[in-house]
Structure 1
Amino acid sequence: MAGNTANPRLWEGADLYVGPVGTTAPTDVDTALAAAWKAVGLLSEDGASETRDQDSTDHYAWGGILVKTTRSKHKRQIKITCLEDNLIVFGLVNPGSTAATTTGTTTRTVKVPTADPRAFLLELTDGGVKKRRLIPKGEVDEVAEVTLSDSELTAYELTITIYPAADKTLYIDITNDPQAVTP
């Protein structure tokens, strides 16, 4: 059997951090994050999922021979579920809304959502292997149905659309995973 059974990853732990676009990015997996990065709190055990979407067009020569495929409208998204209803999650779910606390009572005023691009950092661990996925610019563009119940946790499933940088970079993975080493 070819391969190495130590190579597959089962990410046992994860955190999602949010900061303003342009927040100082980490350059390794161990250095503490800049203060501007704020954790969203507990995440669902379902993990995160990445989706890709793009249009493709096949071009044929006379006689029906495929000669080229062009691609456009590439879109990448990450879906993750937050289990806390803290101020960070409130801001992601309700961009442009406000919250204020006076004498122990918090009032949240929910408004029609506004554009709110942010930087995101997904930090994953598998034993001693760590990965930090830096998304320099993205935006929560979908929030799934929220259940308020006495039998289910209230959860906020967020879909984050990733915007490419001028050089077309979508995200940067920083890892100490030995199988990721380049020759």
Structure 2
Amino acid sequence: MRKEGFTLIELIIVIVILGILAAVAVPKFAGLTKEAKISAVKGFAGSVRAAMNIVHGKWLVQDNSSIDNVTLEDGTTVYVCLGGSSDGHNCASGVIKGYPAPDTDGIGAAVDYDNDTFEAVKNDNGTNNTITFYYKGYSSATNKNCYVRYDYSTSGEGPKITVETDDCE
């Protein structure tokens, strides 16, 4: 009479093969989390650049250098800098006018960032006129470098965007 099923040797061989496959596959996929966070930060930086240029272009089309805001197509109001520090939006004196202000009512509103993914912190690098969007959990309090910084403090220039992904783990 013949019994059906697998022998112990066959089961051990299958388990060994699965173990080898797991040993090869796990290191491949382990680094994907870090790469995904880096990609999210770099993608967000692209959104900040695009939003900055769209708002500035729309402000220029308005043809009025005293208007301190731009209304986007979806109805969002974005405040812009007019080159003076008295406008209440962390704008440095002498900067190029019409770019989004470095706060949540300026560039933050323009990019419509996700609070669950990025945390916006104003003036956290010791320099006024900046807003830093940290990938959630990587704030300056944790001394981690995983962020996009929008810096509008350079006189005579437009905003600078800095991307830091050294500590996106």
TM-score after normalising by structure 2: 0.25
**Which has the larger share of strand?**
1
**Which has a greater percent of helix?**
2
Q: Bigger radius of gyration, 1 or 2? A: 2
TM-score by length of 1: 0.23
